[in-house]
Amino acid sequence: MVAHTGPAVPRIVGRDARQTPQSGADAIVLEIASSARAALTSAGAALADVAVAACSAPGPLDFRSGVVHEAPNLAGMVAFPLGQRLAEALGMTVFVDHDTAMAAVGEAVAGAARGAKDFVYITVSTGLGGQIVSGGRMLRGVRGTAGELGHFPVALEGPRCGCGSFGCAESLAAGRNLAEQFGVERAELVYDAAARGDRRAVALIERAEAALGNLAVGLVNALNPALIVVGGAVAEHQPEHVLGPMERAIEARAFRVPAASVRVVRADLGADVALLGSVLAARERAAGRGEWFL
């Protein structure tokens, strides 16, 4: 639970964290609703004290209807009316949007992208995702699925991605996939092994760096952003393997003019960025505002 205290970063007043169920979409809804109630309890509040709620979710999804089209990493989330089901479970309006869209809102309003009208937000964490803001408006596309940068193809071959394709940036550089390809539970173990000189770990990380570099060059050449704001746990803990390769690839290979206009920067709001952005977005949507990101 978050209390909004004005134009600055919202203040977290209650928290509850849980593992995402793997048994299906219905179980996920029940766990989210239970977690929301627990967060309210920890803040000394109740559902009756809340006017509107927000939920950030992986996509692709329809932010207008709250329907998740297909979330490859969430069991049963195919054409699933997440917004409606959460509204029924909590007894209030629930706005659902892409997690990276909400992160972009947070960074634009109170983080590293304040004042920027043309920027790209990228998260490199368990998965890899992103969102595009161009000319002061979030790029949504005809069905609201624009910004799926984790599934931007950056290679002609590679491991099969969770989306069913191959060569996706996520399949090569996301923490979960790095760990799986190395045969360990966490990506940090791959980076630790590479630091010790393990050749297979080094090769996996070099491939991930090349994928991120390709993604960055493509974004700079195609979109000419002022900023690429990079967040997520992997980016936070391994910046030399995430931001560094992106900066070097842009300098070496992107078109000169857009390369000179862009900066690759760390996100400011940390692990709570999507949570904070969701609160800001819900407030604006409930008030009939927020046209720039809708």
State the pLDDT confidence band at 143, using cuts at 50, 70 and 90: confident
Do residues 74 and 216 both lie within one domain?
A: no
How many independent structural domains does the chain possess? 2
Q: In whole angstroms, what is the distance from residue 16 CA to residue 74 CA?
A: 20
Q: pLDDT tens digits for 227-263?
A: 999 999 999 999 999 999 999 999 999 999 999 999 9
Which amino acid belongs to residue 115? G
Do residues 278 and 212 both lie within one domain?
A: no
Q: In whole angstroms, what is the distance from residue 251 CA to residue 219 CA?
A: 13
Do residues 90 and 122 both lie within one domain?
A: no
Look-up of token digits 């193809």: 153
State the pLDDT confidence band at 82, using cuts at 50, 70 and 90: very high
Q: Is the pLDDT of residue 210 over 80?
A: yes
- State the Cα torsion 189-194-195-196 to the nearest 10°: 90
- Measured in degrees and rounded to the nearest 5, phi and psi for residue 151 equal -110, 20
Q: Quick one: 221 exposed, middle or buried, by C-beta within 10 A (0-12, 13-18, 19+)?
A: middle
- Measured in degrees and rounded to the nearest 5, phi and psi for residue 280 equal -60, -45
Do residues 203 and 279 both lie within one domain?
A: no
Percent of the chain with pLDDT over 90: 83
Q: Is the pLDDT of residue 8 over 80?
A: no
Q: In whole angstroms, what is the distance from residue 237 CA to residue 228 CA?
A: 18
In a domain, 196, yes or no: yes
In a domain, 152, yes or no: yes
Do residues 123 and 215 both lie within one domain?
A: yes
Do residues 139 and 160 both lie within one domain?
A: yes
Q: Is the pLDDT of residue 2 over 50?
A: no
Do residues 188 and 70 both lie within one domain?
A: no
Retrieve residue 257's tokens: 């003019």
Overall average pLDDT of the 155-169 stretch: 92
pTM (2 d.p.):
0.91
Give start and end residues of each alpha helix (H) in 21-98: 25-42, 82-90
Do residues 243 and 144 both lie within one domain?
A: yes
pLDDT, residue 9, reads 66
In a domain, 293, yes or no: no
Q: In whole angstroms, what is the distance from residue 179 CA to residue 158 CA?
A: 15
Can you list the positions of beta strands (E) in 200-242?
227-231
In a domain, 108, yes or no: no
In a domain, 249, yes or no: yes
In a domain, 107, yes or no: no
First to last CA, the chain: 23
Do residues 204 and 252 both lie within one domain?
A: yes
Do residues 277 and 199 both lie within one domain?
A: no
CA atoms within 13 A on the CB side of 120: 26
CA distances 34 to 29, 188, 218, Å, are 9, 31, 42
Which residues 6+ apart lie within 8 Å of 141 measured at CB?
147
- Measured in degrees and rounded to the nearest 5, phi and psi for residue 198 equal -65, 120
Q: Which domain holds residue 29?
A: 2-101+272-286
Work out whether strand 53-57 and strand 61-62 pair parallel, antiparallel, or are unpaired. unpaired
In a domain, 111, yes or no: no
Cis upstream peptide for 258 (omega within 30°): no
> Is the CB of residue 251 less than 8 Å from the CB of residue 215?
no
Do residues 29 and 161 both lie within one domain?
A: no
Q: pLDDT tens digits for 36-80?
A: 999 999 999 999 999 999 999 988 999 999 999 988 888 899 999
- Max intra-chain CA distance, the chain: 57
pLDDT, residue 75, reads 87
Q: Which residues pair with 230 in a beta bridge?
A: 122, 266
Do residues 122 and 244 both lie within one domain?
A: yes
In a domain, 250, yes or no: yes
Question: CATH number for the domain including 152?
Answer: 3.30.420.40
Q: Is the pLDDT of residue 140 over 70?
A: yes
